[in-house]
Amino acid sequence: MSRRSGRITLQARDSNTPETDRPLLKKRKSEPSKKKLQPASKKQNYEIQTCWSEDGASPCILIETPHKELEPTDQSRFKQYRFKNLFIKNSPIPRLSWANSEDVWIKMINKELTYIHDKSYLQRHPKLQPKMRSILLDWLLEVSEVYSLHRQTAYLAQDYFDRYMLTQEDVSKDILQLIGITALFIASKIEEIYPPKILEFAFVTDGACSVWDIQQTELLILKALDWNLFPETPISWLKLYAQVEAQKDENFLEPQFSQDKYIQITQLLDLCMMDIDSLDYSYSVLAAAAFCHFSSFDVVHRVSGLTWESVSPCYRWMAPFMDTLQSEPTAQLKNFPKVKADDKHNIQTHVAYLDLLRKAQERQIDSHDFQMSPVATAATLTPPSSTEKPTSV
């Protein structure tokens, strides 16, 4: 609306007043400017701002923002969103010579909010079952070991797959292998110095996927993910926690943690990530819970800043997986051709994860039946026979 039409609108009009009796607009220029009309009530709006303190806590303070005169009339539509309260601790990363440790820490935390994963995407695909995802991820881990790909590459592929499926609907199980191998192809180009050729990725599918299929699916995935290809995976969080816990000198980039302990934790993460319920937790919490199973929570709190209330649900959910691995031979470092000794722990390995996953899920069912049983605590509970147990998915 122009300034002229605006003034005419604000001026009171009387239909009985002759047109000539109305003051001319030109004369109003000499009149003192009138104050703009103020709304009867102002709506207060605030934004969250963090404030670092010396004791490490970072309380959220409210900063008043300019008044907003319009509010959404239908507030029920906000029920579909889930809001989280974030209480950020000071960076556990030591002082760095090449970057600001707090900036690095905040950037990692922000990625937790930017890259969203949710297991509910299966509701978009009625033809798919959680077990199909487990079989696909198990195969991708095996391919990663064959080509000596890094753990980060395998976890990037898993993240790309889950986030891509969250953007699609009614995907057929016949193309899951194509989506998975394409996600691994993209991840290898992101992470690996010398990624395998696309012909090699097509070869491992035994003719199920051609080079042309992978190229076309690559374009679809990149577009669906909007080229957001750099999440902080559970492996990157775990490596940070392990390095902070074992830090002895100023060279933060050189690994100083135990390789043997590291691969045992990563095996637990591998097994847990194959269960779709792992998507209920953020990547940083998953890594912290796995680290906590091999250390004390005091150490986990120091290297992650997370509270026990944040880690304990994931820690308890992960317990059957840990019990399953403890009943198996301890993970050992493997030798890979052309891989340096100080990089062996970073190469993705594969074991009989599907069998281990089945055992872990059976332990979960037994634990759930024990907790839900109406029998008194002092009574002896007899676990159901294998034929009576619900089939795991």
Task: Please give the pLDDT value at position 71.
Answer: 47
Tell me if 138 sits within 8 A of 130, measured CB to CB. no
For residue range 205-236, list pLDDT tens digits in order. 999 999 999 999 999 999 999 999 999 999 99
pTM over 0.95: no
Task: Please give the pLDDT value at position 189.
Answer: 97
DSSP state of 127: T
Tell me if 289 sits within 8 A of 318, measured CB to CB. yes
DSSP state of 311: H
Stretches where the chain sits below pLDDT 50 are: 1-17, 19-20, 22-50, 52-54, 56-72, 77-87, 373-393
Task: Please give the pLDDT value at position 98.
Answer: 76
Nearest to 333 by CA among 143, 145, 141, 194: 145
Per the listing, tokens 């970073």 go with 346
How far is the CA of 285 from the CAs of 10, 83, 219, 241, 314, in angstroms? Answer: 58, 17, 31, 11, 7
Q: How far apart are CA 173 and CA 125, in angstroms?
A: 9
Task: Please give the pLDDT value at position 176.
Answer: 96
Task: Please give the pLDDT value at position 370.
Answer: 54
Tell me if 248 sits within 8 A of 228, measured CB to CB. no
> 3-class DSSP state for residue 374?
coil
Task: Please give the pLDDT value at position 130.
Answer: 94
C-alpha 282: how far from chain center: 5
Q: Say how many CA atoms lie within 13 Å of 86 toward its Cβ.
A: 15
Task: Please give the pLDDT value at position 88.
Answer: 55
Specify the CATH class of 117-231 in words.
mainly alpha
Q: How far apart are CA 247 and CA 241, in angstroms?
A: 10
How far is the CA of 192 from the CAs of 156, 189, 266, 328, in angstroms? Answer: 11, 6, 19, 31
Structure tokens at 85: 């309260």
For residue range 164-175, list pLDDT tens digits in order. 999 999 999 999
Q: How far apart are CA 176 and CA 14, in angstroms?
A: 73
Amino acid at 210: S
User: What residue ranges of the chain are covered by domains with CATH 1.10.472.10?
Assistant: 117-231, 233-367
| 233-367 topology per CATH | Cyclin A; domain 1 (1.10.472)
Task: Please give the pLDDT value at position 338.
Answer: 87
Nearest to 365 by CA among 385, 340, 338, 344: 385
